[in-house]
A and B are shown apart, each in its own frame.
Chain A
């Protein structure tokens, strides 16, 4: 009997063959936490576990992205506490401005094929973009990994997504991610891993968009087989291959050639329609950023539509690059200049307004079209704001007109 990628990765780490439904205790290769929760995890370690030192400091990574740079005395103090802790224990820390945790760990090649990456963040599924088993956990679970080097997991069943064809122009990985939320629904892959097959041709950034949104269907992990990634940067262990006789609990085939631009409507990620169903909806703010769509390629796509034009008069276009590297890439080839000349506001690489804490928090009545992954009520600020989710191309086309617009019409 063959195994799914999750079964293979968890078996390797458990030191025995395990299959869906079994419980395993494993040593994660990487344990990521960000500024929002690291101070609380330190508190659990010290006060509840009564420990001072983490077991394997070399496996820990801190990234400051959620409120970066600090916006209040409280966030500044918390960050300082985590900085001191990292320094004392020799923990790698990527400080404010470096970028979003999920982007940084991929750029730094800390996440890689066949690894187990635990993050204090639900979008840790994004590490599946490079063939890792990435999953999010709460602060207490993370504190226990710090303390013991281990964690327990239930080996998940796997939902297989088979992708056929290629994107028509104006349609990209975000539309596919939203389409999958639409088909599979917000809890259709609860407790499962999603495997994405047929994407050997897809560049890394598209894989990151897809894997980050696996959690929006409830998934524990979302893994794209690492085939087609540069092997020198993401060396895949020879056991990490697809078995033709692996057992998939469910399967869905998507034909990309017939995919339309998708838009998720307030206030649930799986409340998705073809763009034509909401075209013309007035928008106040367009947000281009996040671990789902804040990369160079996303800015480049937007620039392709905005070149030589100005955004609509009553629209704010806020661009938050996913990392300092992505910002540099956009600056180097003029992409950034195009966005700024079109009227975009640039903020520090990081999560930006995704969580409504700074750099563009929404007010009462604001309507936002965002390239992020979540549109829950109150997520980006006022509970009386409306959030639509779409691709970078839709975001740029919408910024131009001030209403939700099909990029293929621009």
Chain B
């Protein structure tokens, strides 16, 4: 079982990892420990591998900093489910292999602190007796995630998704 961490709308990358906590500024620190360090210190302390982030619109807006995604990856976030994602964040998350879904139904149903079971291969989240179906991702996103991220994808296929 994993915990749901629910956030509101427009969570910007300064909330996920403030620029002052970038690897550039703290080369010897684990950026994973900086995940939500100021916006949600309990997350930085207590998040467990496989936990699910649920958010309203425009999750990850702001800077292009991939270390915001890197921090969530190091915390082994199981999936991010939101009403919508900011463009660069969406791309960065896929590139690093974090599954992310847009689902108004699940975002509405899941509350902060809920315990859930996440089953990505079967596209399911279970909360108590309720089972929710995760929406199907676009083909290119599925391919990148299946490979484990864009670097393994390009290394395996020698091309970008959708390229001849």
Cα-based distance from A338 to B6 in the complex (angstroms):
50
For B10, the closest partner residue in chain A by CB is A186
The closest CB in chain A to the CB of B63 belongs to A122
- Given known pairs A140-B151, A141-B91, A357-B20, the reply for A187 and B86 (CB within 8 Å) is yes
* Interchain CB contact under 8 A, A152 and B162: yes
Kindly specify which of A246-254, A274-282, A376-384 makes contact with the partner chain.
Answer: A376-384
Contact call B140/A23, Cβ cutoff below 8 A: yes
Is B136 an interface position by the 8 A CB rule? no
- Contact: B162 with A23, CB < 8 Å? yes
A374 to B86, CA, bound (A): 15
A376 touches B12 (CB 8 A): yes
**CB–CB B86/A25 < 8 A:** no
- With contacts A25-B160, A35-B24, A72-B25 taken as known, whether A377 is within 8 angstroms of B14 at the C-beta atoms is yes
Instruction: Verify B160–A151 contact, CB threshold 8 A.
Output: yes
B interface secondary structure, majority: loop
Q: Would you call B38 and A120 a contact (CB within 8 A)?
A: no
How near does chain B come to A101, taking the closest CB pair, in angstroms? 12
CB atoms of B91 and A44 under 8 A apart: no
Q: Is B86 a contact of A376 with CB atoms below 8 Å?
A: no
A262 within 8 A of B: no
Closest to B159 in A: A25
Judged by a CB distance under 8 angstroms, whether B103 is at the interface is no
Q: Report the stretch among B46-54, B64-72, B114-122, B123-131 that lies at the interface.
A: B64-72
Residues in chain A near residue B92, CB distance under 8 A? 138, 140-141
B60 to chain A, nearest CB (A): 10
Of A73-81, A104-112, A226-234, the one with at least 4 CB within 8 A of chain B:
A73-81
Task: Provide the bound-state CA to CA distance between A326 and B95, in Å.
Answer: 37
A190 at interface by CB-CB < 8 Å: yes
A residues near B154, Cβ cutoff 8 Å: 49, 144, 148
Q: Which of B10, B15, B69, B154 has the most CB of A within 10 A?
A: B10
Question: What chain B residues lie within 8 Å of A120 (beta carbons)?
Answer: 64
User: Shortest CB–CB separation between residue B38 and chain A, in angstroms?
Assistant: 5
Q: How far is the CB of B67 from chain A (nearest CB, A)?
A: 7
Interface size class of A (residues with CB under 8 A): 35 or more
Against B, the Cβ 8 Å flags (1 = close, 0 = not) of A368-390 are: 00000010111101010000000
Interface residue A137 (Cβ < 8 Å from any Cβ of B): yes
In the complex, the chain A residue whose C-beta lies closest to that of B83 is: A187
Is A268 part of the contact surface with B, judged by Cβ < 8 Å?
Answer: yes
**Assuming the A-B contacts A75-B24, A187-B61, A377-B15, are A144 and B150 also in contact, with contact meaning beta carbons closer than 8 angstroms in the complex?**
yes
Complex formed: what's the CA distance from A293 to B159 in Å?
Answer: 40
From known contacts A44-B151, A137-B88, A144-B154, infer whether A74 and B25 are also in contact, taking CB-CB under 8 Å. Answer: yes
A131 to chain B, nearest CB (A): 21
Q: How many Å from the CB of B130 to the closest CB on chain A?
A: 29
Q: Write the B80-93 contact mask toward A (1 if CB under 8 angstroms, else 0).
A: 00001011100110
Complex CA gap A36/B84 in Å reads 28
Tell me which residues across on chain A come within 8 A of B12, comparing CB atoms: 268, 374, 376
Partner of A138, one of B25, B65, B160, B161: B65
Q: Is A136 an interface residue (CB 8 A)?
A: yes
Give the shortest distance, in Å, between B163 (CB) and chain A (any CB).
5
- Residue-wise, chain A 179-201 has the 8 Å CB interface mask toward B (1 for contact) of 00000001100110000000000
A204 in the interface (beta carbon within 8 A)? no
Q: Using Cβ atoms and an 8 Å threshold, which residues of chain A touch B96? A: 140
Q: Which residues of B contact A357 (CB under 8 A)?
A: 19-20, 25
23 A-B Cβ contacts within 8 A?
A23-B161, A23-B162, A37-B65, A37-B66, A40-B67, A67-B25, A121-B64, A122-B62, A138-B88, A140-B66, A140-B92, A141-B91, A141-B95, A143-B151, A144-B154, A144-B160, A187-B61, A187-B86, A356-B19, A374-B14, A374-B63, A379-B14, A383-B38
Inter-chain pairs besides A37-B24, A49-B151, A141-B150, 12 sampled, C-beta below 8 Å: A39-B24, A48-B151, A67-B25, A148-B154, A152-B163, A186-B10, A186-B58, A187-B61, A357-B25, A378-B15, A378-B20, A379-B19
